Amino acid sequence: MKQALFCLIVCLISENVFGQDKQAYLIYNAKGERVVYQSIVNTAKKSDLVLFGELHDNPMAHWLELELTVDLFDATKGSILLGAEMFEADNQLILDEYLGGYISQQRFEAEARLWPNYKTDYKPLVEFAKSKGLKFVATNIPRRYASMVSVGGFDTLLSLTSEAKSYIAPLPVEYDANLGCYKGMLSMMGMPGKGKSNPEFFPMAQAIKDATMAYNITRNLMDNHIFIHYHGSYHSNNYEGIYWYVKRKMPNLKIVTIATVTQDDITVLAKENMGIADFIIVVPERMTRTY
């Protein structure tokens, strides 16, 4: 009896002490139920495609991207391939040359159009792929073409050369202006005005990115492999964006979506973040940022 009482006291004290620890992140499922990291691994390893939505400056998201990649590599005995928004399709050659050992790291980093936070946030993924001989797909549309769409809409792409179009999803691109992600962008930009820039084109620029990333994902899928794709959460939140375009082409593909959000209180999933993905990584609002 005394021993049982002692154990109960120890458990209560331990729970009280550890319950006060600072949490760097918590994970929830789409229903708002708290789950453990292993739940993501267990679900993802049964999928064809993992859409990992990050906050670009969030260290927890970047660390978990690397951890999930390593764990899925181990769980599938290496049957994974990677892809990312952060690499534009016309940089595939130089990325392949670096992964294949044909050019040096210094040359790759000097000549590829890398994001400013590459060395802290994406280099670990590229180096892991290189060390394991994994395919890494540069999925995004070249930025100059997305900029064209933001100024003049989809029609501006029609005059491009065949070579230029090879870096873009096949034209004409299907577009649903009523999707929440695109309507949201339009409302943030405001209604069309009398100036040179038409806000209506801004969600089209987002859509051409989503469509191109989805196109490059689907055409690089491999049998019995899991494709892990890294991108900003907005590109797949609420099962829209990349997810919507992939499903239009391959409705039976098994996809797992992950979103990253920040909240002041991470102990409960905020209502606005409920159901935005299969798994939602919640990070404290005060978390330090990578840039």
pLDDT at 19 over 60: no
Closest CA to 262 of 241, 288, 240: 288
pLDDT digits 0-9 by tens, 227-275: 999 999 999 999 999 999 999 999 999 999 999 999 999 999 999 999 9
Residues in the chain: 291
Closest CA to 79 of 125, 132, 137: 132
Token digits for 195?
A: 């100036």
Q: Is residue 11 part of a domain?
A: no
CATH of the domain at 193: 3.40.50.11550
Q: Is residue 4 part of a domain?
A: no
Q: Is residue 55 part of a domain?
A: yes
Q: Is residue 14 part of a domain?
A: no
Burial of 219-255, coded b for 16+ CB within 10 Å and e otherwise, reads: eebeeebbbbbbbbbbbbbbbbbbbbbbeeebeebeb
Q: What domain count does the chain have?
A: 1
Q: What is the pTM of this model?
A: 0.91
Rounded distance, CA 117 to CA 247, Å? Answer: 31
Q: Is residue 110 part of a domain?
A: yes
pLDDT digits 0-9 by tens, 188-213: 765 554 445 688 999 999 999 999 99
175: domain range?
40-284
The CA angle 287-39-136, to the nearest 5 degrees, is: 75
Token digits for 177?
A: 């202006």
Q: Is residue 25 part of a domain?
A: no
Q: Is residue 150 part of a domain?
A: yes
Rounded distance, CA 234 to CA 26, Å? Answer: 19
Question: What is the sign of the dihedral through the CA atoms of 83, 88, 90 and 94?
Answer: negative
| Amino acid at the residue 227 | F
